[in-house]
Structure 1
């Protein structure tokens, strides 16, 4: 029984392998790029707008509002990165209805890569927002003794992001594979639909967790509190 798309090898020369994880990851990225171009190619800045554009703007506005509630005061600055993570994970699971398709998120290498993207983005956004000195100072709050614990926390939450997403995505695919072997066709179809819902939930959770980590790194809440106290004075 296959536990990961890494086990499907399309081409190999020595230690260089082209497996299903790499192929389906690039196909999914190509699909997202082409889809984004087609959706946004006819956007209008005038008052006369299509229904599709109005719907798209409503969705984006609601997402920005939710990011503000998380703690990001300038959600437009982070929407591209966070939205890409959400769409990749969501479509990776939604595409399981395609025969022969293997979701790349069923591989630990893919989920580690996604977690590393968050791991790199968090300090980058923090440095841009607070400056390198201000960001590094946040690791020593409320006292310098907390420095090693904060560093361990950064690493551990990255590992947790990768392992949790991998475990949830792989377990759903594994359950469906087992049911296909021991039960009639109709029940695995129901489980597949449930797996699609689970994939959307996992995409949303990953999206929110990444937003929370960035909000903590940028110190958005602290910055807002300082501005409010300054205005009161």
Structure 2
């Protein structure tokens, strides 16, 4: 039976046990921060960009373009949040190809934490965009009877995100283990390639869904109505 990262204790210190989920999360975060610091250390207008800076700019511009395509407006603040989610999940999943590395996204605790961050971010973005009164008013539209259903809908989004990410990452690991048991000399390369692809897809889906939820919370229904009337 395949163990989850929560069950693998890497080391113990000061009476605390640090499992693979915690340690590998730190590794992913350190890599993201370290690479960003190294690439942007000479980020000045008078310094020509090198290939690493160019690659980073392409990634950032691509993420920004995808987010603005969904929100239909400049949403740099959303890019910081959704882009960070994408890079963390993508790097975690891509490091699955490293022998012995258990991606933190294959832990239910990590996927729940990521989903909770989206649950908290959605109302914060909504309140920042509309104000507290207008945002809360949306929960009782078109009738106050819809209040419990709208609240349940908000929580179901987070549950769906957590289960979706966890289920896909775990299923990929189980399939890989089965195939490696059947034909260990042929399938490793194939599964590494499949892991790279599915890791990027899952990161993309999670970030896009988070962006859609935030866009829905910050959208102005009256502006949409006025736009339809003009057309």
TM-score, with length taken from structure 2: 0.89
Deviation at 1:75, TM superposition (A): 1.6
* Shift in alpha-carbon separation, 1:15–1:164, aligned structure 2, 3 A: farther
Deviation at 1:223, TM superposition (A): 6.4
Structure 2 residue 90 is the aligned partner of structure 1 residue 90:
yes
Q: Partner of 1:76 in structure 2?
A: 76
* Shift in alpha-carbon separation, 1:187–1:116, aligned structure 2, 3 A: same
* Shift in alpha-carbon separation, 1:59–1:33, aligned structure 2, 3 A: closer
Q: Partner of 1:170 in structure 2?
A: 170
Q: Partner of 2:5 in structure 1?
A: 5
Q: Partner of 1:149 in structure 2?
A: 149
CA contact (8 A) 1:72 1:211 kept: no
CA contact (8 A) 1:86 1:203 kept: yes
Gaps of 5+ in 2: none
Q: Partner of 1:101 in structure 2?
A: 101
Deviation at 1:12, TM superposition (A): 5.0
| SS of residue paired to 2:73 | coil
Report the count of equivalent residues: 230
CA contact (8 A) 1:118 1:210 kept: yes
Deviation at 1:78, TM superposition (A): 1.2
TM-score, with length taken from structure 1: 0.88
Deviates more, 1:122-131 or 1:37-46: 37-46
Name the CA distance, whole Å, in 2 between partners of 1:107 and 1:48.
42
Q: Partner of 2:39 in structure 1?
A: 39
Deviation at 1:141, TM superposition (A): 1.6
| SS of residue paired to 1:10 | strand
* Shift in alpha-carbon separation, 1:33–1:52, aligned structure 2, 3 A: closer
| SS of residue paired to 1:11 | strand
Deviation at 1:46, TM superposition (A): 4.9
Deviation at 1:189, TM superposition (A): 2.2
Q: Partner of 1:65 in structure 2?
A: 65
Structure 2 residue 196 is the aligned partner of structure 1 residue 196:
yes
